[in-house]
Chain A
Amino acid sequence: MNISKISMRNITRQKKRSFLLGGAIAFGVFIIITIGSFTAGMTETLKENFTSIMGGHIYILGTETLDSGRIVQVIGDTADLERAIDTVDDLVKEYHVRSQVRMGEIIFGSKSTTLQVSGIDWNKEQLLKDTLTIADGSLENIEKAGSLIIPEKVADKLGVIPGETVLIRMDTVTGQKNVGEFTVAAIVQEQDSFSFISAGYTEMGYLNDLIGLESDEYQYLNLHLKDIAQMDIVAEKLVTELEKTSLVDAGDDEDEDGEEDQRHGMMFGGGMTSASDEPWDGTKFSITNLNDIMEPVLQLVNILNIVSLALFVILMIITMVGLINTFRMVLIERTKEIGTMRAIGMHRGSVRSIFLLEALYLALFGAAGGIILSFATTIITGLIRFTADSALGLFLHSGRLQFITTPVSVLQVVFLLAVMTLIAVYLPAKKAAKLKVVDALRAQY
């Protein structure tokens, strides 16, 4: 008990020195926890945004070849697909089907611009509705045929407001031109800085009519899983099942040059109604999942985490050098006191413990300061609303930065700090414990 008390009180002996050391530790902890929270929040935000906008975690795209050799995006024969998804049904929360116009031209008066339009079955896409941030208008009548949701940027460019009618010129799945009339129901804020997400949404049946699909046909089947951790397993299983009966482009390492890029391009509106050299029968399936799309982002997150860890380690090394020097000084200052405590019956281990505990308390106080500072910073920053087209657009969740701090990540940092501190102070502590009592008592300090 007394050892702990002495260690704690020793911290207050040199308040300025303790404050500076604790401050340095707090700063290091602040940096790593804040960056860790930011990257965790960013990853989660991106996953959420992708999940809601893409309509799920696993995306199945169908392509067929016409007699003319032209490739069209449509899942015409659904029997094989339904049989395959039956095998993973217990892992799926929701199924979303979509059709899409990738490079439509939206016209209002004398102005026009390009717009990607997704056909949505609104009854099954509550998540997307929740994610959209309405700038003007409402989502009340979006299920009505011809109702259109457009991004703010497009609305500004055209000068259109909710309730007004626009035209969209588009290609049908067979490559013919068609024009549809839409009523702007709502204008939404940009979701992030990716152009493919600056998309319009409309009711799927109405869009299908315009692009030459039957009302019950679709181009994508997206699976929203119960457990996102099962994503790769489910995707793998679907590939295995579909390969038994159909052509499958699974997106594995066997991809030929650029084929994966082409598949992502199809997902994000790159367009694909070209001719094929080798036509195939039936529907060829392409399966992508959120991890494939997130890979570049996750790499960025990993780099950020490594940089923050490196920064933390460098800061900690500097702090540890400070700690070693401080405790060497403390050893000199308290030599006589150590001699006294040893003379009246304190064992070497207890002397060592006093030093180690003092450093540990200092580190824990510093860590607590860093954690509080980090929480305050993330809470305050999380309240700030950014414009969607800012550089931070990629990381925004409903216009705000999201920070996720888990107890495990905080404990990991504190544990690492504690271990580094104990290692740093061990030598001065050992030296203090090994002092000869008679020499220590003779010390002039």
Chain B
Amino acid sequence: MTVISLKDVHKKYPLGKTEVHAVKGVSFDIESGDFISIAGPSGSGKSTILNMIGCIDTPSEGIVTINETNTSDLKDKEITNLRHDVLGFIFQNFNLIPVLNVFENIEFPMLLGKNPLPKAEREVWISQLMEEVGLGDWKTHKPNELSGGQRQRVAIARALVTKPQIVLADEPTANLDSETGSSIIELMKKMNNDYGTTFIFSTHDQTIVDIADHVIQLKDGKIVENRRR
């Protein structure tokens, strides 16, 4: 089942008096449960495409649909709800809330919804996630008390806590050493298998690209390879 579809998507940015054409007519479909890598060198348009899929940026031309909904037609409230209900985010710099501890950071997205789970059920689910990402003993620690790998694990748990259909990870291993980076990708893969969540991650690291089931290779804002394994 197609969950995401990009049709002839362009993105142009104003840069001073000129215009940067970051994405040039990109089209592809993503199926439910895919573990996809969007790969390419810096400036190839990976993050821009992820931002448009994540509804935090809009295409200059073309259509991005999520579950057959054209995201350009949605108002801010509807987009926010869509981001909350359907998408999960993992950032390169982890982007945890510094004043919240590990448990609270993971719990945070759940509390933003209209009908959060009862507290007891929430605690069971978060504890399970914390165990799965290997942070069972770090519940009350603040982000500044964690290593980079641990922070990214918290971010993964936070991205999965609302049981989203799709998780977007923008260069999730860029700020980690190679060993930790591999473990993070393996963790994401495990979550993909366990929960059937669609994972889309951008990377320029070829060793990580190889783990993906579906690779979309970009260069200068265009797809140069769209390969399924």
* A interface with B by C-beta (< 8 Å): 1-2, 5-6, 9-10, 12-13, 336-337, 339-348, 350, 437-438, 441
Q: Whole-angstrom distance from the CB of A439 to the nearest CB of chain B?
A: 9
CB distance from A234 to the nearest CB of B (A): 62
Report the bound CA distance from A13 to B76 in whole Å.
Answer: 30
Q: In the assembled complex, how far is the CB of residue A358 from the closest CB belonging to chain B, in whole angstroms?
A: 11
Which B residues fall within an 8 A CB radius of A?
Answer: 51, 54, 56-57, 76-77, 80-81, 83-85, 88-89, 91, 93, 95, 97-100, 104, 107-109, 111-113, 158, 162
CA distance A347 to B80 in the complex (A): 6
Q: Which residue of B has the minimal Cβ distance to A344?
A: B109
Q: A6-B97, A337-B95 are in contact. Are A344 and B56 (CB under 8 A)?
A: no
**CA A347 – CA B81 in complex, angstroms?**
8
List residues of chain B with CB within 8 A of the CB of A343.
54, 56, 83, 89
| Given A6-B97, A6-B99, A344-B109, also A438-B83 (CB < 8 A) | no
B129 shortest CB reach to chain A, Å: 15
A340, A348, A437, A441: which contacts B97 (Cβ < 8 A)?
A: A340
Interfacial chain A residues near B85, Cβ < 8 Å: 345
Whether the pair B57, A438 counts as a contact (CB closer than 8 A) is yes
Chain A residues, Cβ within 8 Å of B99: 6, 9-10, 12-13
A342-B111 in contact given A2-B104, A438-B57 (Cβ < 8 Å): no
Q: Return B82 CB to nearest CB of chain A, in Å.
A: 9
Report the bound CA distance from A341 to B108 in whole Å.
Answer: 9
CB pairs A–B below 8 angstroms (16 shown): A2-B111, A5-B104, A6-B99, A6-B100, A9-B99, A9-B100, A337-B95, A337-B98, A339-B56, A340-B95, A341-B97, A344-B84, A344-B109, A345-B85, A347-B112, A437-B57
A348 and B81 alpha carbons, distance in the complex (Å): 11
Instruction: Please give me the residue from chain B that is nearest to A11 by CB atom.
Output: B99
Are B104 and A346 closer than 8 Å at their CB atoms?
no
- State the 3 A-B residue pairs at the shortest beta-carbon distance, nearest first: A345-B84, A9-B99, A340-B95
Residues of B within 8 A of A438 (CB): 51, 56-57
> Which residue from chain B places its CB closest to the CB of A438 in the assembled complex?
B57
Q: A344 touching B77 by the CB < 8 A rule?
A: no
Contact between chains at B81 and A345 (CB < 8 Å): yes
Which residues of chain B come closer than 8 Å to A348, judged between CB atoms? Answer: 76, 80
Q: Are A344 and B54 in contact (CB under 8 A)?
A: no
Q: Nearest-CB distance from B198 to chain A (Å)?
A: 17
Query: Which chain A residue shows the least CB distance to B161?
Result: A344
Q: B158's closest neighbor in chain A, by CB?
A: A344
Contact A345-B109, Cβ < 8 Å, known A438-B51, A438-B56: yes
- Interchain CB contact under 8 A, B57 and A350: no
* A-side contacts of B93, CB under 8 Å: 336
Name the B residues within 8 Å of A6 (CB-CB): 97, 99-100
CA distance in complex: A1, B119 (Å): 12
Asked whether A1 lies within 8 Å of B95 as measured between CB atoms, the reply is no
Q: In the complex where A343-B54, A347-B80, A438-B51 touch, is A2 in contact with B89 (Cβ < 8 A)? A: no
**Once the chains are docked, how many angstroms separate the CA of A265 from the CA of B84?**
80
A344 x B112 contact (CB < 8 A): yes
Residue of A10, A344, A348 most packed against chain B (CB within 10 A): A344
What distance in Å separates the Cβ of A335 from its nearest Cβ neighbour in chain B? 12
Output the nearest chain A residue to B162 by Cβ-Cβ distance. A345
B80 pairs with A346, CB closer than 8 A: yes
How far, in angstroms, from A441 to B76 measured CA to CA in the complex?
A: 17
Contacts of A337 in B (CB 8 A): 95, 97-98
The chain A residue with its CB closest to the CB of B92 is A441
Bound together, the chains give a CA A359 to CA B88 distance in angstroms of 30
B98 with A441: CB separation less than 8 A: no
Bound-complex Cα distance A350 to B83 (A)? 15
**Complex Cα–Cα for A350 and B109 (A):** 13
Minimal Cβ-Cβ distance residue in B for A13: B99
Assembly CA distance A426 to B116 (angstroms) = 28
Give Cα A9 to B142, complex, Å.
12
Q: How far is the CA of A13 from the CA of B104 in the complex (A)?
A: 17
9 additional contacts (CB under 8 A) given A2-B107, A344-B83: A6-B99, A9-B100, A336-B93, A344-B89, A344-B109, A346-B80, A347-B77, A347-B112, A348-B80
Give chain A residues whose Cβ lies under 8 Å from the Cβ of B108. 2, 341, 344
- A336 to B84 CA separation, bound complex (whole angstroms): 18
Given contacts A6-B100, A337-B95, A341-B97, A346 and B56 within 8 Å (CB-CB): no
CA A437 – CA B112 in complex, angstroms?
A: 16
How far does the Cβ of B152 sit from chain A's closest Cβ, in whole Å? 14
For A1, give the chain B residue with the smallest CB separation. Answer: B111
